[in-house]
């Protein structure tokens, strides 16, 4: 149970999403609950299973995915008053039945339950279309025949798979226990310069855990089936808040995109190595212990991947809160107000600037940082002015979007 759930008066106002899952699946449930923990006051997830153990094109395996079995599982979910029901499986893309079978399945589920329905494969198509993707790399745990069928099925929808990588597994339990380091290598093997993104087609391969890290390494979106299915569920239930830590798809937000542009401009103007924005806006799932907007120079690691520090306990943040002034540190190692040790020793920051964001109620709800890695440096008046200008732009964006009042 998420911390937010305990603060509710009841579960009556929480959107309830039902997922039909393969019986041998062990990844999608913990992955999905882990992702939704950030918004547990808005959504609850519920699961119903259908018998699935092995994944080949043998008729006995293909016949595991019978429509009636799915509908029966959906009916059990609907007894709980679901707001949406999704088949959390990619069988439509590889069994040879095609996406048309998924469309028919959704129609039948909705007819029987009266609840909107979708599937992982249909959600993947929606994502590719939304991002204008035409050419992608494919990462799967399957053997050659299902992999080839996936390429063919997406090809029939106008998409080109430019490269594939597979684990050559047929047993679903084995797939669910794949080591995370092996999944990272699978994504590297799948990647291609010609691919606009990487698609992970399987809801029992726990790639969700490494998507954020691997997007940063490979420099392109990774659309993992488990995350994609949740993305669709959030769309179906009108839950529109960014989720952090699981890739660009779930983090995507027009407001955050505007803030990212401000961070990029600030980094370019100051010649910084990294610019970050941290802010406390709980209703939009933003808090200062997690970077919500960032720009980094080539070769500089993102801080989005790290949430280990209690930010408000830091000396620099306490100084910002007490003085309400910008803080320019030309030499972090010898600064009077000590920056975090990890910032200097792990991330190599040698100089930095910070400015707080004071809300209408007088509370400092966030701050912007500019980091410089190559050496110490003298921050100029122009640098500080650029930092303050960025803070003004952030305030305007948050005010106009009704995210915060200043």
CATH code at 253-400: 3.30.450.40
Looking at the predicted structure, is the pLDDT value of residue 53 above 80? no
User: Which token pair is 228?
Assistant: 């994609």
Q: Is the pTM of this model over 0.75?
A: yes
Query: The tokens 């995915």 sit on which residue?
Result: 65
pLDDT in the model for residue 9: 72
Q: Which residue ranges make up each domain of the chain?
A: 14-248, 253-400
pLDDT in the model for residue 219: 94
Mean pLDDT of the region 371-381: 97
State the DSSP code for 44: E
Which tens digits make up the pLDDT trace of 300-318?
999 987 777 789 999 999 9
Mean pLDDT of the region 229-234: 98
Looking at the predicted structure, is the pLDDT value of residue 380 above 60? yes
Which tens digits make up the pLDDT trace of 200-221?
999 999 999 999 999 999 999 9
Q: Say if domain 14-248 classifies as CATH 1.10.357.140.
A: no
Separation between Cα atoms, residue 383 and residue 387, nearest integer Å: 6
Count CB-CB contacts under 10 A for residue 108.
16
Q: Exposed, middle or buried: residue 336 (CB in 10 Å: 0-12, 13-18, 19+)?
A: exposed
Which tens digits make up the pLDDT trace of 349-370?
999 999 999 998 999 999 999 9
pLDDT in the model for residue 398: 96
Q: At what angle do helices 28-36 and 225-236 cross, to 10 degrees?
A: 50
**Average pLDDT of every residue of the chain:** 92
Q: Which residues contact 12 (CB under 8 A, 6 or more apart)?
A: none
Looking at the predicted structure, is the pLDDT value of residue 231 above 60? yes
State the DSSP code for 313: G
Residue 60: which pLDDT band, with cuts at 50, 70 and 90? low
Domains 14-248 and 253-400 equal at CATH topology level: no
pLDDT in the model for residue 11: 76
Residue 61: which pLDDT band, with cuts at 50, 70 and 90? low
Which tens digits make up the pLDDT trace of 95-113?
657 788 899 899 999 999 9
pLDDT in the model for residue 63: 59
Which tens digits make up the pLDDT trace of 241-278?
999 999 999 999 999 999 999 999 999 999 999 999 99
Find out whether 239 and 39 touch, Cβ atoms under 8 Å. Answer: yes
Helices and strands, counts by H and E, the chain = 16, 13
What are the φ/ψ torsions at residue 378 (nearest 5 degrees)? -90, 115
Residue 397: which pLDDT band, with cuts at 50, 70 and 90? very high
Query: The tokens 């008729």 sit on which residue?
Result: 59
Sheet containing 135-140, strands listed edge to edge, beginning at the edge strand earlier in sequence: 160-166, 135-140, 197-200, 222-224
Residue 59: which pLDDT band, with cuts at 50, 70 and 90? low
Which tens digits make up the pLDDT trace of 114-170?
999 999 999 999 999 999 999 999 999 999 988 999 999 999 999 999 999 999 998
Find out whether 47 and 21 touch, Cβ atoms under 8 Å. Answer: yes
Handedness of CA 74, 80, 81, 87 (dihedral sign): negative
Query: The tokens 């809300």 sit on which residue?
Result: 359
């Amino acid at each position: 149970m998420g911390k937010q759930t305990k603060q509710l008066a009841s579960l009556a106002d929480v959107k309830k999403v039902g997922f039909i899952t393969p019986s041998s699946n062990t990844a999608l449930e913990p992955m999905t609950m882990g992702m939704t923990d950030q918004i547990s006051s808005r959504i609850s997830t519920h699961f119903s299973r259908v018998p699935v153990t092995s994944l080949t094109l043998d008729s006995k395996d293909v016949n595991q995915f019978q429509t009636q079995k799915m509908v029966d599982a959906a009916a059990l979910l609907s007894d709980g008053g679901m707001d949406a029901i999704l088949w959390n499986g990619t069988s439509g893309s590889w069994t040879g039945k095609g996406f048309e079978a998924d469309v028919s399945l959704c129609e039948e589920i909705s007819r029987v339950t009266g609840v909107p329905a979708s599937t992982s494969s249909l959600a993947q198509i929606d994502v590719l279309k939304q991002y204008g993707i035409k050419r992608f790399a494919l990462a799967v745990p399957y053997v050659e025949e299902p992999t080839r069928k996936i390429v063919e099925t997406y090809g029939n929808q106008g998409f080109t798979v430019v490269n594939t990588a597979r684990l050559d597994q047929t047993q679903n339990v084995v797939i669910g226990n794949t080591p995370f380091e092996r999944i990272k290598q699978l994504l590297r093997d799948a990647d291609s310069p010609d691919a606009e993104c990487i698609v992970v087609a399987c809801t029992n391969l726990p790639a969700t855990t490494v998507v954020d890290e691997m997007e940063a390494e490979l420099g392109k979106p990774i659309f993992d089936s488990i995350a994609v299915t949740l993305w669709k569920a959030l769309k179906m239930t009108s839950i529109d808040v960014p989720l952090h830590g699981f890739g660009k798809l779930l983090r995507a937000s027009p407001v955050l995109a505007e803030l990212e542009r401000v961070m990029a401009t600030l980094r370019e103007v100051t010649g910084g190595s990294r610019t970050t924005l941290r802010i406390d806006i709980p209703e939009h799932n933003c808090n200062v212990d997690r970077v919500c907007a960032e720009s980094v120079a080539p070769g500089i690691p993102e801080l989005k991947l790290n949430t280990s520090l209690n930010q408000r306990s830091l000396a620099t943040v306490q100084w910002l809160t007490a003085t309400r002034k910008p803080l320019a540190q030309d030499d972090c190692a010898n600064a009077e107000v000590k920056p975090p040790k990890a910032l200097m020793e792990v991330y190599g920051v040698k100089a930095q600037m910070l400015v707080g964001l004071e809300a209408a109620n007088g509370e400092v709800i966030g701050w912007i940082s500019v980091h410089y890695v190559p050496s110490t440096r003298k921050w100029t008046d122009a640098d500080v002015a650029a930092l303050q200008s960025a803070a003004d732009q952030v305030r305007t964006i948050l005010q106009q979007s009704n995210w915060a009042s200043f």
